[in-house]
Amino acid sequence: MTVIRLRENTGVKNVGSFHQSLVKAFGEDADILIDFSETRRLDLSVMQVLIAAGREARAKSKTFRMRGASETVRRQLSICGLSR
């Protein structure tokens, strides 16, 4: 299982490295877990990467999960149609 831990404030300034980590993780065999436990809020750039990753996981039948989302992050995910 590859665990990718997001920072307290992940946004457009550091989305590049998050994107690269995910692309790399999808190139490997392990399942992927995104850990939001230190994250206060996200921005739309991160959300887009998460949505694209979700699609990629479905296409490749890979397990892609998220954990530790705060109330704020859960609300943000829901706004972007990522409530589950």
Partner 1 sequence: MDDTRVLRDVFIREAADILASLESDLVRLEDEKAPELVNDIFRYVHTLKGSSGIAGFKSVYAFTHRLENLLDMVRSGKLAAGREIIDLLLVGLDWIRLAIDSGEEAPGLDEGREGLLKRVEAIIESTAPIPAEAPGGDAGPSEEEMDLGYRYFRIKAGFREDIFETGTDPLMIMEDLFSLGVVVERHTDRKRLPELSAMDPEKCYLGWNLVLKTKSPLQKIDEVFMFVRGDNPISVEDITAQYAISTEDPEIKEKRIGEILVAKGILTDVELNDALKTQDGENTRIGDLVVAKGYATEREVQFALGEQEKIRKRIETSTVRVDTGKLDKLLNLLGEIVIGQSAIAGIAEELDEERGFMLKNALYGLDRTTREFQEQIMSIRMIPIGPSFEQFRRFVRDTAHAHGKEIRLEIDGGETELDKTVIERIDDPLKHMIRNAIDHGIEPASEREAAGKDRNGTITLRSYHQEGNVYIDVVDDGRGIDKVKLRARAEQAGLLKPGEEASEAKLLSFLFLPGVSTAEEVGDLSGRGVGMDVVKNNIESLRGSVEITTRPGKGSTFRIKLPLTLAIIEGMLVRVGRNVYIVPLLSIVESLQPRKEDIRTVKEKGEVIQVRGEYVSLVRLYDLFGIEPEFRNPWESLVVIVEAAGSRVGMMIDELLGQQQIVIKSLENHITKSRAVSGAAILGDGRVALIIDIHGLIEEISR
For partner 1, the closer CB: 49 or 66: 49
Cα torsion angle, 75, 79, 35, 6, sign = negative
Q: What single string gives the DSSP state of each residue in 5-45?
A: E--SEE-TTTHHHHHHHHHHHHTSSS-EEEE-TT-SEE-HH
Site string for partner 1, 12-51 (x = CB under 8 A): x--xx-xx--xx--x---------------xxxx-xxx-x
- Residue numbers at the binding site for partner 1 (CB under 8 A): 11-12, 15-16, 18-19, 22-23, 26, 42-45, 47-49, 51-53, 55-56, 75-76, 79-81
